[in-house]
A and B are shown apart, each in its own frame.
Chain A
Amino acid sequence: MTNSWNDIANTDVMLIIGANPAENHPCGFKWAIEARRLRNARMIVVDPRFTRTAATADFHVPIRAGSDLAFVGGLIRYAIENNLYAREYVLNYTNASFLVNEDFHCADEGLFSGFDAAKSNYDQTTWNYQPKSGAGTPGHLPENVAADPTLQNTHCVFQLLRQQYSRYTLEMVERITGVPQAKFARVAEEFAGIRRNGDMTRTGTLIYSLGWTHHSIGTQIIRSGAILQLLLGNIGRPGGGVNALRGHANVQGATDLAISWDSLPGYLKPPTAGDDNFATWMKRTTPTPSKPSEWQSMNYWANTPRFAVSLQKALYGPAATAANEWAYDYMPKRPDGRGWWAISEETVKGKVKGAFCFGMNALALAPSVDRTLAALSRLDWLVVCEIFPDETSEFWRAPGITAEQQAKIDTTVYRLPGAGFSEKSGTMVNSSRLLQWRDAATPPLGDARIDLEILAQIFWQVRRLYKTEDGAFPDPILNLSWDYEDPERPSAEELAKELNGRALAPVTEGGSTLPAGSQLPGFAWLRDDGSTACGCWIYCGSWPEGGALTKRRGTEDPSGMGIHPNWAWSWPMNRRNLYNRASCDPQGKPWDPGRAPVWWDESAGRWKGHDVPDFMVTSAPKEHMGPFIMANEGVGRLFAPLPSLVDGPFPEHYEPIESLVENALHPAVPTNPLGKKVETSFDKFGTAAEGYTAVAFTMRLTETYHFWTKNNPANVQLVPEPFAEINEQMARELGIDGGDFIRISSARGAHICKAMVTKRLPALQVNGKHVYQVGIPFSWGFRGIAEDAGRTSRTLVNLITPTSYDANTRTPEYKTFLVKVEKVDKL
């Protein structure tokens, strides 16, 4: 989230699209309800299904799954053509005025400039700004960017943006999304209409979740949301923002600490094979300012080397030295494009010998059960740490595996009883980036142990083996910093302090000096000379010398806006709303004096406020420093230059890999040209001609939590059996009654469940086709109370989900694929 859960209560209008917070984030959803209670805020829900979120909204807009980008593109066009964009904000806080390379062209025909058909890749040279003078260096952003503050130049970002979305007319939006023009226009006016007559006081928030990420164009859908919010001047403002609802309770924390293949702790970019040494890695990943010369850009990522060296010092302690380039050789250099596909493919090929699955049900989560089964069967050993016996730890019992096949599986499975969330202390990080410490409520049951202990003991054994028996590359293991009081049982406190970081030698910052050994008060103290260690730079400041700020429980709120500065601690440096400089006009005065998180105090010569200014506090408005301090430009990117994204500097609508309709914008380029579609014997894709004529998507239920809750009698009572939601008319045509067993099949396999026949999933008219959609909850499998008792179907949903992936993140396309639905007589 750019903003916070509490801040949703400050909004005037909510656009909830690609998310179902009432069901999947019911506790956070209270803030949406508060906005309605306290401010009469409007709520628009865009979703194929009439969800429980829609049940509390003003508008429900049924949409075809996989067409959200066209919907948002239509909103962008609506805002521009109806003069509803925040002109002063756009001019000063975005790159709207920047001139782009004259050879760049938009995706009018489906492709941006620079496409290399042979490589299915883009040469991104033209995706760059024009330098103010000279030719610039290809592949690098110019330091001085040419700009046109009138926004009239045909090569300026604003005009290119207008051109890019000029095709997303009301009629086109209807053809792609199935949303009737009148309904779309009404919703567009509700959301973008907050800027009617140049009114800058009101704000709108954009709320999304996995409904946006699980697509072959997922990253670009989110980009389109960011562009819309920049255009409307909603980012950095109370009640505004682009707000990703993260999985609970700690997916935000997991990503902060590098659970994704493409990041290191604190979102540092990991070294790749081409980075020969520490210096080249730093040069490639440390951005430089790129802006019109009369503007300022803080370009905070310029500090990347301080963060990276401090991370290496936290990992390797004294073994990381300037002489050995901070133990750079210890770091894995990742090849491109990892993720589910790469892991399972390399395991199937026998390259991976063993695997650890901690708190993660791989068989049920990864795309293609068949491929995952093949992969797990090839492993020599598999360690699963869970609180219940899950599908992964009993993969050989998956439905359809014969006794003969079972006999051929040689994988040794070690099942370790982990502790549940209430059995361990530590912080969880919620979508608000809020680190909240909680103490264990109860010790782990039986033989269960907290995973920290389990991992520590495994590490200790591995290190012992390296010491006694040597190995291929012992250094990273033998030199890993392991400075805990009880090496076999590091405490959560010790880890939290390590993540915060400490001074290894006296460090001076802002005129004061901290002695060696001190916990650091913030990341401004981090150094690239080896004098500081910090496990995750964005967490620096959470545990200073005075103690854990994450344990604070102060409820005071002087702002009256739900900032609660003394409740726990949010990264970065307890800022509740990111980019909050943008809540003020260029002169430093709040756009809405009634909702002012920060402001410029001329007499004091600094930024002040209820929230921590996300800005250089001494930079006066006249210096024109951009509020987006993490970007090279200092301003928001309507146009994302160079390799920010692999598939285009502007978001463009492409059909899902499996789609019923042609791409109405450009039939010749139907799908994301860079969307990863894997085609091995496990990867099959179906078409309408083959009978796969309904659009399916996966979803979750408020009554279930992943795959755990099928082990809890309370949840089993609430939702006893797997089901899928289908439309009434479709059910009639197929002779299906509510409660009948149905087989939902794709080109990849079949899932059996019961039919929930409902009015809440209306049929849509899409480009002349009558489209039915099927919503399939994701939370069942072959292991649980009802499953073990033989009372339910036992198929996993990802038997049918596709093995196509987002071009940038490699997130699987679970939210749109083609299926056929048939009635079956019995299980």
Chain B
Amino acid sequence: MSAESRRIQRISAHAGPVPGTGTVREEKVAKLIDVTTCIGCRACEIACQEWNDLPFADTVFQNNHQTMPDTSWNLWTLIKMNEVEHEDGTLQWLLRKQGCMHCADPGCLAACPAEGAIVQYENGIVDFDHDKCIGCQYCTIGCPFNVPKFNPATKKVFKCSLCSDRVENGLEPACIKSCPTGCLQFGAKEEMLHVAHKRAEQLRDHFGYENAGVYDPPGVGGTGVIYVLHDVTRPEQYGGLPKDPRVPATIGLWKSPLKWLGNLAMVGGLVGMIAHFFLFGPKTDPGDEESHGTEKPDD
């Protein structure tokens, strides 16, 4: 994949045509996560941190093999592990890699008020430009998957970039490279969908998973990360994968016909903040003193 693949398709908070939009459309890319062949080895978690130079955290035992309750600003991907007991007494240990879904209609991007802080490349990757991030955390509200995570020390929001830097240079994302079983695959979205549907069919026909299917939710226009699930009718059991994710309606409203109202509200908020400052003095962050090292996760 060439540098062309980073050609920008959409950017946050920008009215009018996207600067640099070309006529060449690179094919959409996708990461396929076949949950049925994930062994929860967590190599992807570490590979992601190492490639992206994210610090390791001091963690505590959480009564499970998952250890970290959720992704965080320095942990962009995490295997969610859930013990699910079915009515017939059988047990499943569901292992699902959680991370940014790279939505075709990204709620984070829609919600972002900082111009160019969130970009969507023509290959579908949704990326954050931290130089432009203002730390408002609106993206965390816009995301239906609860993915972007705020680092209180740097006042920036972070998430998986699908290794856009590696992809630009013709490499697969770091998580894909580290996966020992091939549960993670990467390629053109169309091709990944083909592989995923074939696998789901195999799971239905040969392994008794009647509801096996592909998770590529239409509510966000489809995603650049797709799952094969043993039971696509119950995505929630895989550690809270939403059944029908949608960008919050308020974000849509705010961004289009009612944007002027939002701007007005923002100005109102600003007025309120100034008033608050004069009435009660500056707001202090209780975490400020400890978090200067930026080595701690936000949870």
Contacts and interface: CB of A to CB of B under 8 A. Distances in A.
Interface stretch (B85-93, B153-161, B215-223, B249-257): B85-93
B59 A717 contact: yes
Contacts of B61: 720-721, 723, 739, 754, 756
B207 A54 contact: no
A33 B93 contact: no
Interface stretch (A21-29, A154-162, A316-324, A606-614): A21-29
Nearest to B94: A55
Interface stretch (A109-117, A509-517, A757-765): A757-765
Interface stretch (B17-25, B41-49, B115-123, B141-149): B41-49
A716 B181 contact: no
B44 to A, nearest CB: 12
B269 interface: no
A52 B37 contact: no
A30 interface: yes
Contacts of B91: 50, 60, 759-760
Nearest to B46: A714
A760 B62 CA distance: 16
- In this complex, which of B36, B42, B182 has the most chain A Cβ atoms within 10 angstroms of its Cβ? B42
Contacts of A37: 37, 182, 199, 202
A551 interface: no
B95 interface: yes
Contacts of A34: 182
Contact of A702 (B42, B50, B62): B42
A58 interface: yes
B57 interface: yes
A720 B37 contact: no
Interface residues of A, number: 42
Nearest to B37: A33
A56 B36 contact: yes
Contacts, number: 113
A714 B50 contact: yes
B39 A50 contact: no
Contacts of B49: 714
B181 A720 contact: no
Contact of B37 (A56, A58, A701, A757): A56
Interface residues of B, number: 39
Nearest to A753: B61
B279 interface: no
Contacts of A739: 61-63
Contacts of B36: 56
Given A29-B180, A717-B59, A759-B83, A52 B92 contact: no
Contacts of B15: none
B42 A703 contact: yes
A52 B56 contact: no
Contact of A54 (B59, B93, B180): B93
Interface string B71-103: 000000000000101000001111100000000
A755 B50 CA distance: 30
Contacts of A721: 60-61
Given A26-B41, A717-B56, A33 B62 contact: no
A714 B49 CA distance: 9
A758 B61 CA distance: 14
Contact of B63 (A716, A738, A791): A738
Interface string B183-224: 100000000000000010010001100000000000000000
Nearest to B83: A759
A754 B61 CA distance: 8
Nearest to A43: B207
Contacts of A26: 39, 41, 43, 180-181
Interface of B: 36-43, 45-46, 49-50, 56-65, 67-68, 83, 85, 91-95, 180-183, 199, 202, 206-207
Given A52-B41, A714-B49, 17 more contacts: A22-B40, A26-B180, A30-B181, A33-B181, A40-B207, A52-B65, A55-B38, A58-B207, A701-B65, A702-B42, A716-B59, A719-B67, A720-B60, A739-B62, A739-B63, A754-B61, A759-B83
